[in-house]
């Protein structure tokens, strides 16, 4: 049974204050009957905060209440100035990571995601992790950074941190896939292949459903398998591959056809099957279907062919399924410039197109 994994599911604590900032600030502001009372309360709390004999727990409660009151009146700028000022003036406060986390959320609520990213990252780089209500502030920061960061280099660091530091809190399978994609964006192909290999080694790799990446398993399997193969069956152009295959069919040269078939991930299946279905990956020799049969092929490639994929209609292979579409595919393997962009005979679709 397939299990749908939702990427980096937020824990309830994340919205301890963000729910106020994002959805309740205006409502609370409208419900406040006496702004003067709020101001008096803030003044009293500020005065209490000046007491140098306060213990850390009491000081935390006062600061948190001041911040909550600022959120209630939708004073995000005041909230940011208060919290950042406190952190700057009290660098030894053990809760500074928490105050900066609130600051980051305040910037997010105003649409300033790049500034929020700065504060989330600042917490990771400059402050020890802090557990609030049993939840790691560093983990919360990483969750948010993955969501808002646009830089592949930074995202690579965040994914690695999540994997190494919080493996029990995330889907390792999904994170390795997403890490591989970020390495690709940076053209770090060796690292991408390592990440893809670890992704494939996970027990749920073939069944996990990853948002935005419907063909993740197929792509990873093709890249890793291709990387570990001799790659000696590819042709420099589609024309060269098409000509070679047609010539072999015309001459009933099954040995050449067997040579031209891709040695990794070659499939033979109906149009309804999945390419990664184990039943579609069975090895066979073309000899078994050429002896005693009159095999022919279309003069031109099928009209559904394009710059990356091509189909050659052939027939006469079997009394059961006469028509086969030979499937040619452009090789996507940037790790090796001599192979990248070549063409391979990647599989066979049996039967007429649906």
Same domain, 262 and 217: no
Same domain, 141 and 276: no
What's 171-190 look like in SS3? CHHHHHHHHHHHHHHCCCHH
Query: In this structure, is residue 143 part of a structural domain?
Result: yes
The pLDDT assigned to 127 comes to 96
Query: In this structure, is residue 311 part of a structural domain?
Result: yes
Same domain, 219 and 293: no
Same domain, 199 and 276: no
The pLDDT assigned to 97 comes to 96
- Rounded distance between C-alpha atoms, residue 191 and residue 183, angstroms: 6
- Rounded distance between C-alpha atoms, residue 81 and residue 287, angstroms: 78
146 CB-side CA count, 13 A? 24
Residue at which a domain ends, from 201, 225, 249: 225
Same domain, 173 and 306: no
Binned at pLDDT 50, 70 and 90, residue 5 comes out as very low
Same domain, 209 and 260: no
The pLDDT assigned to 34 comes to 55
User: Considering its fold, how many domains does the chain have in total?
Assistant: 2
Q: Which of 300, 288, 297, 302 is CA-nearest to residue 316?
A: 297
- Rounded distance between C-alpha atoms, residue 243 and residue 258, angstroms: 15
Residue at which a domain ends, from 225, 255, 271: 225
pLDDT tens column, 189-224: 999 999 999 999 999 999 999 999 998 998 899 899
- Rounded distance between C-alpha atoms, residue 220 and residue 184, angstroms: 12
**Per residue in 133-151, is it b (16+ CB within 10 Å) or e — as a string?**
eebbbbbbbbbbbbeebee
Higher pLDDT, 8 or 209: 209
CATH number of the domain residue 257 falls in = 3.10.450
Here the tokens at position 245 are 């295959």
Binned at pLDDT 50, 70 and 90, residue 163 comes out as very high
Here the tokens at position 82 are 């208060």
The pLDDT assigned to 317 comes to 94
Query: Has residue 21 got a pLDDT over 50?
Result: no
Same domain, 267 and 219: no
Residue at which a domain ends, from 225, 246, 274: 225
**Per residue in 237-269, is it b (16+ CB within 10 Å) or e — as a string?**
ebeebbebbbebbeeebbebbbebbbbbbbbbb
CATH number of the domain residue 34 falls in = 1.25.40
CA distances from 304 to 119, 273, 287, 308, 322 (A): 50, 19, 28, 11, 20
The pLDDT assigned to 335 comes to 87
Query: In this structure, is residue 4 part of a structural domain?
Result: no
Is the distance from CB of 325 to CB of 313 less than 8 angstroms? yes
Binned at pLDDT 50, 70 and 90, residue 240 comes out as very high
Same domain, 79 and 141: yes
Same domain, 221 and 242: no
The pLDDT assigned to 273 comes to 84
The pLDDT assigned to 257 comes to 97
Query: In this structure, is residue 5 part of a structural domain?
Result: no
Query: In this structure, is residue 230 part of a structural domain?
Result: no
Q: Which of 46-55, 67-76, 89-98 has the lowest mean pLDDT?
A: 46-55
Same domain, 215 and 325: no
Query: In this structure, is residue 206 part of a structural domain?
Result: yes
Where in the sequence is the domain holding 244, given as residue range(s)?
238-350
Same domain, 217 and 249: no
Q: Which of 86-90, 109-113, 276-280, 345-349 has the lowest mean pLDDT?
A: 276-280
Query: In this structure, is residue 70 part of a structural domain?
Result: yes
pLDDT tens column, 282-321: 678 999 899 889 999 999 999 999 999 999 999 999 889 9
Query: In this structure, is residue 6 part of a structural domain?
Result: no
Here the tokens at position 309 are 């994929």
Query: Has residue 43 got a pLDDT over 60?
Result: yes
Same domain, 221 and 243: no
pLDDT tens column, 80-131: 999 999 999 999 999 999 999 999 999 999 899 999 999 999 999 999 999 9
- Average pLDDT of the residues of the chain: 87
């Amino acid at each position: 049974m397939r299990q749908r994994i939702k990427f980096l599911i937020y824990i309830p604590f994340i919205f301890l204050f963000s729910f106020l900032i994002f959805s309740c600030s205006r409502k609370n502001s409208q419900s406040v009957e006496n702004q003067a009372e709020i101001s008096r309360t803030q003044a009293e709390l500020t005065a209490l905060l000046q007491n140098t004999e306060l213990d850390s727990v009491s000081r935390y409660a006062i600061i948190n209440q001041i911040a909550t009151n600022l959120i209630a009146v939708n004073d995000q700028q005041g909230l940011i100035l208060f919290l950042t000022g406190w952190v700057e003036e009290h660098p030894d406060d053990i809760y500074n990571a928490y105050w900066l986390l609130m600051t980051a959320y305040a910037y997010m609520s105003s649409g300033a995601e790049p500034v929020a990213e700065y504060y989330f990252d600042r917490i990771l780089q400059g402050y020890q992790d802090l557990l609030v209500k049993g939840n790691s502030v560093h983990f919360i920061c990483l969750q948010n950074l993955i969501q808002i960061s646009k830089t592949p280099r930074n995202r690579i660091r965040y994914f690695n941190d999540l994997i190494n530091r919080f493996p029990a809190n995330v889907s390792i399978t999904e994170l390795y896939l997403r890490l591989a994609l970020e390495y690709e964006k940076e053209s770090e192909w060796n690292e991408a292949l390592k990440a893809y290999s670890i992704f494939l080694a996970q027990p749920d790799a073939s069944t996990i459903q990853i948002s935005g990446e419907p063909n993740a398993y197929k792509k990873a399997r093709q890249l890793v398998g291709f990387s570990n193969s001799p790659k000696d069956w590819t042709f420099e152009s589609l024309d060269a591959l098409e000509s070679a295959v047609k010539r072999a069919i015309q001459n009933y040269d099954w040995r050449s056809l067997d040579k031209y078939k891709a040695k990794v991930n070659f499939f033979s299946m109906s149009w309804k099957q999945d390419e990664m279905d184990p039943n579609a990956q069975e090895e066979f020799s073309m000899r078994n279907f050429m002896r005693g049969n009159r095999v022919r092929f279309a003069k031109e490639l099928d009209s559904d062919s394009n710059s990356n994929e091509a189909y050659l209609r052939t027939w006469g292979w079997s009394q059961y399924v006469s028509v086969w579409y030979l499937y040619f595919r452009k090789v996507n393997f940037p790790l090796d410039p001599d192979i990248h962009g070549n063409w391979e005979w990647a599989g066979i679709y049996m039967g007429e197109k649906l």
